[in-house]
Chain A
Amino acid sequence: MEIDARPKMIGARVQRLEDPRLLAGQGRFIDDLNLPRMLHIAFVRSDHAHARILEIDSADAAAKPGVAAIFTAPDIAGLWNPIRATSRMADYHATELPVLAHDKVRYVGEAVVAVVAENRYLAEDAAEQIMVSYEPLGDAIDAIANAKADAPLLHDDAGTNVLAARTFHRGDVDAALAEASVRVSGNFRMHRKTPTAMENRGYVADYDPGRRALTLHSTTQIPGIVRDALVEMLDIPGNRLRVVAPDVGGGFGGKGALYPEEVLVCIIARQLGRPVKWLSDRLEDLMTTNQAFDEHVAAELACDGEGHILGLRAEVIGDVGAYSVYPWTAAIEPVQVVSFLPGPYRVPNYLGRVRAVATSKTPTGAYRGVGRPISTFVMERLMDMAAAKLSLDPLEMRRRNMVQADEFPYKTASGIVWDRAGFMECLDKVASSYESLRRDQTAARAQGRWVGIGLASYAELTGLGSRIAVAPGMPVNTGTETATVRIDSTGAVSAYFGIASQGQGLETTLAQVVAEELGVRVEDVDVIQGDSAAVAHGTGTYASRSTVLAGGAAINAARAVREHVIKAAAHIFEADEGDVDAADGQVFVKGTDRGMSFRELARAVYSEMGRLPKDIRENIELEATRMYDPYFGTTTPASHLAVVEVDPETYQVTVQNYVVAEDCGRVINPLIVDGQVHGGVAQGIGAALMEEVVHDGAGQIQTASLMDYVVPTAAEIPAMQVHHLETVLPDNPGGFRGMGEGGTIGAPAAIANAITDALAPMGIDINELPITPERLFRLIDGK
């Protein structure tokens, strides 16, 4: 066997290991978990947006059949320690995380009373009997009004509704604007979204009174963070508190925060000594899962006569809803709108100001893209507006301003550092069909059709290391991940991680990495993830980090184990370590027929007494734990191109063609990377054309079913072309860059630009998303 014959598993289109169970209906999702004597919770939730709780009458409910207990906020006081999402950021005000509302409710859907019964049907029957009376405290649903000094306060102890404020500043923007040949500006609006994973959130708490140990089964993306928080909240040591994420049906950020319900099931399970389940229904999901993308941006871009950017100014108000979410804080999204606004371009002068304003709506948190779908929408619209004013082609406008290959590492106006990545290469790749698409467009226009082409370029910071926290000033370390690789006494390989897949295929990609490094087959590696007990510290899957951080840790751990495999085998074969290799589950002496399976090697090391001398045996460890910290993180650039057609009668927008070129470094599994792009773009198309959480003037949610909160179906999403660039990343063990969110970042901008282009003869700018047929009608009708 020659070393060249070693199969390459990184880069191969490996079919996913998790698929057979999911396809055969054998996945184990949260609602598939049923424990003996388990009780079920139904909530009474607030039907007021902002009100004082006057009285709760649950006497009739308590008498209903099957009811085990009823809990209000005073009933659980003393059973848990409150928690807040803190931050070292100046001008930040933390809020409580209410497990059940006490005194006040601050959004429609906030949990007020928990009814615990023998099954969910009975729990809901009883919940219907509970009467809560409220004293309304006045509307507080408008972020711009709430930012004013005289607005009613949502949180008296914060003393303001502006929960966070921050400014990024470089150069002299006023001077740059004053000397510019061209200035373009707009008031941009992205309306609120909800992540809408197909599986609703759900939690099962299982308390073992004998061991005083608690296991929480949770649809969470962050089992380690939840475990660490619950240790503080419940005074249970970490070695007796375990958080396990089973198969999780999508997350997209929505399952990446600590939720009141997951704390409450733990409190109640410990109190009653019985397992407790709560499963969200879709109405609860649309009311209570953290929402996102609710941003108002006033921005102005200034250029010289050739289109070179001179300055950028932006004022952002983020509507963050009622509470500052744990652990990310209310700042996570709005701050990213401002910090990423300069995009992949040279912006010499910048002033970006942001305020995160509390409103009496569902809290906002992370949703795929976090801030950057908005920053990219705004910047890319400004680029096209400036290009139009200069009579420059939008493609040329981008080429003139994008950071060039010889400028890396490039520090942006907000302080982010872009490492070497294929910025221009991605743009060139999507532009390869640009001229022929423009010719097709000209022909279509001649027939009276409203066809437009839109470009969007951006760069994101993925796989963040310890230098920059995922949310500004947060006290949780998001910069490292841990992997343990273990060969047991049967020769089986297990790899343990602190990340938690919700469909990204991490069981497969991480198995590919371990298999290639260790010299076994992909299907031989069992990946254990989504379990706080798997490694000592790990925070989970969010912020396009799992492949970069867990993949890096996997390489480091697998290489350490491989060294010991080789050392043990060299002793057994009486060969030099340099002559021993491992591949395809075999350890062998190169160029000979001497070899053994990993099973035989493990037996020799662990089970066959005396096979290895004591001094060798004591120094063979077929298990290693290693960490990886990318320090700054990795840069992932991309360009998107969309072709759209607007129906002149119905104003329905059809996406006809969609092209993405992105640089995620070394691709582990092209099948999975393409899938991430497809799914991200589909969510971006939803954000651009249809998805919007709508509240009425009193804060009542109007989009309370999937008939009203409209996500794209197969009929609205086009076939896509996805191109990968694999720019080498030095000082990174795998060369992987993160790419889980990018599709959603680029698509709203590309589509807004494409529709603007389609309607260019009418001079209409698409500066508000989603651009529904109704909004389009108003814009066109107003001309």
Chain B
Amino acid sequence: MIKLTVNGTMYERAVEPRMLLADFLRHELGLTGTHVGCEQGVCGACTVILNGDSVRSCLCFAVQVDGGRIETVESLGTVDNLDPLQAAFQEHHALQCGFCTPGMLMTGVDLLRKYPLATDQEIREGLSGNLCRCTGYENVVKAIRSAVEAGYGD
């Protein structure tokens, strides 16, 4: 039995010891915004924020995060009311297929909360653990740059 907070809601669930956090979020809680692209911790699509730090939910077992506080893409805005980072992604066309996007957003949130991101190179280094095959990254960098300028995460 584990107890954890996901997007502000407390959950108590019995899980198999080998259940991955990504599978727990997707299949047990129905939070399918978190995507699984490699299960090897390389692509970053499954990135969520655990106790304030971005982590790969495909590299954690659900039982490891007992007592933890998790934020997923569903903690940001909604379809009708996008949060400013999501809106910046739309405005700058920072997504195409959208599969890596939830991971990009959660990494972006983590970067924006923690670092000044004074140069685009810092943004690029910060995103280098999240693979995107569609955008060539340029517009993702632009979207995060605009969020920096708008004071997101301050």
Residues of chain A whose beta carbon lies under 8 Å from any beta carbon of chain B: 15-16, 18-27, 29, 31-32, 34, 121, 195-200, 247-250, 252, 281-282, 502-505, 671-672, 674-675, 677-683, 705-707, 711, 713-715, 717, 719-720, 743
Contact = CB atoms under 8 A, between A and B. Distances in A.
- Report, nearest first, the 7 A-B pairs whose CB atoms are least far apart: A25-B33, A503-B97, A249-B99, A22-B98, A678-B136, A682-B136, A503-B96
Contacts of A679: 96, 133-136
A196 B133 CA distance: 7
A706 B97 contact: no
Given A15-B91, A23-B95, A713-B128, A503 B36 contact: no
B134 A23 contact: no
Given A121-B18, A282-B38, A675-B139, A505 B127 contact: no
Contacts of B98: 18-19, 22-23, 27, 247, 249, 503
9 contacts: A20-B90, A22-B97, A26-B79, A31-B32, A197-B97, A249-B100, A679-B136, A705-B40, A714-B127
Interface string B1-34: 0000000000000001010000000110001111
Contact of B133 (A25, A198, A674, A705): A198
B47 interface: no
B124 A281 contact: no
Contacts of B73: 23-25
A22 B101 contact: yes
Nearest to A28: B32
B123 A198 contact: no
Contacts of B82: 20, 23-24
Given A22-B101, A281-B39, A678 B79 contact: no
B77 interface: yes
B133 A711 contact: yes
Contacts, number: 187
B65 interface: no
B97 A250 contact: yes
Q: What range describes how many residues of B lie at the interface?
A: 35 or more
Contact of B97 (A34, A248, A705, A720): A248
Contacts of A683: 133
- Report whether over half of chain B's contact residues are helix, strand or loop; otherwise say mixed: loop
A26 to B, nearest CB: 6
Given A22-B95, A675-B135, 13 more contacts: A15-B93, A20-B86, A23-B89, A24-B73, A25-B72, A197-B99, A200-B37, A248-B97, A672-B93, A678-B135, A678-B138, A713-B127, A713-B129
A715 B136 CA distance: 10
Given A25-B32, A674-B93, A705-B40, A681 B125 contact: no
B76 interface: yes
Interface string B107-125: 0000000000000100111
B96 to A, nearest CB: 4
B89 A199 contact: no
A268 to B, nearest CB: 21
A707 B41 CA distance: 9
Interface string B32-68: 1111111110110100000000000000000000000
Given A198-B43, A711-B133, A714-B137, A24 B90 contact: no
Nearest to A504: B96
B35 A29 contact: yes
Most buried by A among B39, B77, B120, B135: B135
B93 A671 contact: yes
A199 B138 contact: no
A249 B86 CA distance: 18
Contact of B128 (A198, A200, A250, A714): A714
Interface of B: 16, 18, 26-27, 31-40, 42-43, 45, 72-74, 76-80, 82, 86, 89-91, 93, 95-102, 105, 120, 123-125, 127-141
Contacts of B32: 25, 29, 31-32
Contacts of A20: 79-80, 82, 86, 90
Nearest to B88: A23
A711 B133 CA distance: 8
Contacts of A247: 97-98
Contacts of A27: 33, 98-99
A247 B97 CA distance: 8
A556 to B, nearest CB: 27
A503 B98 CA distance: 7
Contacts of B39: 281-282
Contacts of B74: 24-25
B76 A502 contact: no
A679 B79 CA distance: 25
A720 B79 contact: no
Nearest to B45: A198
Most buried by B among A18, A196, A671, A714: A714
A478 B4 CA distance: 52
Contacts of A705: 38, 40, 42
Most buried by B among A22, A26, A681: A22
Given A24-B74, A683-B133, A714-B141, A198 B100 contact: yes
A711 B91 contact: no
A26 B33 contact: yes
B99 A24 contact: no
B134 A250 contact: yes
B139 A678 contact: yes
Nearest to B16: A121
B58 to A, nearest CB: 10
B140 A714 contact: yes
Most buried by A among B36, B76, B124, B137: B137
Contact of B131 (A29, A252, A711, A743): A711
A504 B93 CA distance: 11
A196 B45 CA distance: 13
A292 to B, nearest CB: 14
A681 B140 CA distance: 15
Given A25-B72, A706-B42, A198 B33 contact: no
A100 B80 CA distance: 46
Nearest to B95: A22
Contacts of A505: 96
A25 B102 contact: yes
A661 B120 CA distance: 24
Contacts of A715: 124-125, 127-128
Contacts of A680: 136
A16 B133 contact: no
B99 A198 contact: yes
Contacts of B80: 20
A308 B97 CA distance: 44
A675 B97 contact: no
A717 B42 contact: no
Given A25-B34, A249-B35, A675 B93 contact: yes
A282 B46 CA distance: 13
Contacts of A713: 124, 127-131, 137
Contact of B134 (A24, A25, A26, A675): A675
Contacts of B16: 121
A464 to B, nearest CB: 23
B95 A19 contact: yes
A541 to B, nearest CB: 12
A746 to B, nearest CB: 13
B78 to A, nearest CB: 5
A249 B105 CA distance: 16
B131 A706 contact: yes
Contacts of A198: 35, 37, 43, 45, 97, 99-100, 131-134
A250 B105 contact: no
A677 B138 CA distance: 11
Most buried by B among A16, A200, A502, A675: A675
A327 to B, nearest CB: 23
Given A16-B90, A24-B78, A25-B73, A199 B37 contact: yes
A19 B130 CA distance: 19
A23 B43 contact: no
Contacts of B31: 25
